[in-house]
Amino acid sequence: MCSNIVPLFLTLLLAVGQNALAADCPPPYAGLIQNGAYAVADLQGNIVESCNIDTPYIPASILKVPTALAALAILGPEYRFKTRFYTDAEDGLYIQGFGDPMLTSEEIRLIFAELKQRGLRQVNAIYIDPSNFALEYQSPGSEFSDNPYDAPVGPTAVNFNSVPVRVTREGFVSSGEEHTPLLPLMTELAAGLPPSTWTRINICRGRCNANREMARYTAQLFRALQQEAGIPGQGHLSLKQVPPDVKLFYEHRSSKNLQELTSSFLKYSSNFISNLVYLAVGAEEFGWPATWSKADRAVHQELERQLGQQTAAALIHKDGSGLYRGDRVTARAMLEVLRAFRPHAWLLRKHLGTPSKSGSMKGVWNYAGYLVDGKAYVILLNQAANRRNDVLALLQNGGVENVVRKSVKRVMVKKKSKKRR
C-alpha cells in the first residue's frame, strides 16, 4: 500500500505546484507571493512549474528583454545610430540627429577630430535640427522628476540628457566629470542644490520644453568642445531645420553597435538607451520621423512574428524601458520571450548566479532570466513586499518539486518508524 500512496502523494502535490492558480500560490511560495506569479520552463519550452501564469502584471524593466529581442531582429546587431552634420556659407553648423543614445563628451571629441580632418575650419552659429522625431508625448511613465532615469529622449541628445555637477559648501558649481567641461546649463540647474561630491541631474525638471532644453545642452557642449578642438568661431545657438540648399559635410556613425547598446541597457537598465532603441525600431521599419506609435507597432509585429499572435497580445509594450505603469506582461508570455532570447542570454547581468533582468519600481519586484541548469524562469511580484530573491532562491533549489520530495521523504521516515514500533 505504501508503494501506491507515495507516488499518488507526489503527483497531487506536483499538480498543485505546476498549475496556474487564480489567486494563492502553493507552498512554499504562498508566504512570499501575495500578488504575483512565477513560472519555470525547461530547455524545450515546456512549463514545469507555475502559478498565476496567465495573469497580467506590471513588468517594469524586464520589458527591456522583448525590446532587445525585437531590436536585434529588425535592426541587426551591427546597426549603428547616425548623426549628420551640415554646413552653410556663413560657417554655420547644422546637427541633425537620429536618436543616438551615445553622443557623450568622448564621442563628440571624436566627431570634432573627424570634422577637422575633413577640412572644417570655423563654426559660427550652431543649429540643432529636431525634425527626425515627432513624439506624441515625452517618455511614457515619466514622473517629471530631477532623476536621470526620468530624462527625456530626442533626436539629438548628449550625455544621456543629464548633467554631472559638483557643489561646494560655498555654492561653487563645477562639472562632475573630468571629460565634460562646465557649461552654463550646469550652473543653472545646480543652483540651490545642497553641497555634494557628485550628482547627476535630469536636464528637464518638471514639464519643461524638452526639445528646447535638449538643444541648449547639445549646442553648449558642442560649442565648448569646438573651442577645445581649436576650431574658431562664435554665433547663436538655436533650433532650426536643415535648409534644402546646405550641403552634408559629414555623417557620423556611433562607436557602439546595437549589440553593445543592448548589453548596456540590459545590464545597467538604462531607460534612456532602451527608449531610443525602441523608437529607432519603429522609425527604421516605418520611416522617419520616430514616433511612439510606430515603435509600438513595429515591436508588436516582430514579437508576433517570432512568438505568435497570442503571446504578442499578452505583452502590452508602450515604451522600450518598462517605466510606464500601463505596460503589462504574463509569466507565460515572458517565458516565450526568454525561449526566443536564449541565444542572447549572455547579454544579461547575473543575479544570484543566474543571467537575469530585474525590474523594479514602487510596488513592483520582478526577475526574468535563466537558472543555473538552463531553465527559463519568471518572477512577477506586484506587491509591497520585495520577496523576489526568496522566490528565486527556492527556484534555484528545485522549487515545489524539491519541497515535495522532502515531504515524501519525511512521510517515508515516519512510516518506517511506525513499522519498527
pLDDT in tens, 284-320: 999 999 999 999 999 999 999 999 999 999 999 999 9
Give residue 352's pLDDT.
86
In a domain, 420, yes or no: no
Number of domains in the chain: 2
- 87 Cβ contact list (under 8 Å, min separation 6): 93, 94, 120, 246, 247, 249
Give residue 406's pLDDT.
44
141 with 250, same domain? yes
- List alpha helices for 247-346, DSSP H: 258-267, 271-286, 292-307, 309-313, 331-341
Instruction: Give percent above pLDDT 70 in the chain.
Output: 89
Mean pLDDT of 13-39: 72
In a domain, 16, yes or no: yes
Q: Of the candidates 225, 256, 287, which is a domain's last residue?
A: 256
CA 141 to chain centre: 13
Three-state SS for 233?
coil
pLDDT at 10 over 90: no
Residue bearing cell 562607436 = 255
Give residue 348's pLDDT.
98
Q: How far apart are CA 282 and CA 294, in angstroms?
A: 5
pLDDT at 408 over 50: no
Count of C-beta atoms within a 10 Å radius of residue 226: 22
Mean pLDDT of 251-271: 98
167 with 225: CB under 8 angstroms? Answer: no
In a domain, 112, yes or no: yes
* Cα dist from 53 to 44, 63, 319, 372, whole Å: 18, 16, 23, 22
The burial class, CB within 10 Å (0-12 / 13-18 / 19+), for 361 is middle
Give residue 411's pLDDT.
41
43 with 165, same domain? no
pLDDT in tens, 366-385: 999 999 999 999 999 999 99
pLDDT at 14 over 80: no
What is the band of 124 on the pLDDT scale with cuts at 50, 70, 90? very high
Amino acid at 235: G
In a domain, 33, yes or no: yes
Q: Of the candidates 223, 256, 289, which is a domain's last residue?
A: 256
264 with 252, same domain? no
140 with 59, same domain? no
pLDDT at 194 over 60: yes
What is the band of 418 on the pLDDT scale with cuts at 50, 70, 90? low
Give residue 110's pLDDT.
98
Give residue 24's pLDDT.
86
Domain around 142: 82-256
In a domain, 132, yes or no: yes
Output the domain CATH number for residue 103: 3.50.80.20
pLDDT at 323 over 80: yes
Amino acid at 300: H
Residue bearing cell 512549463 = 47
Name the nearest CA neighbour of 98 among 269, 305, 287, 238.
287
45 with 68, same domain? yes
In a domain, 205, yes or no: yes
288 with 368, same domain? yes
pLDDT in tens, 138-191: 889 888 888 999 999 999 999 999 999 999 999 999 999 999 999 999 999 998
Mean pLDDT of 3-15: 37
335 with 398, same domain? yes
47 with 61, same domain? yes
174: left (phi over 0), alpha (psi -120 to 50) or beta: beta
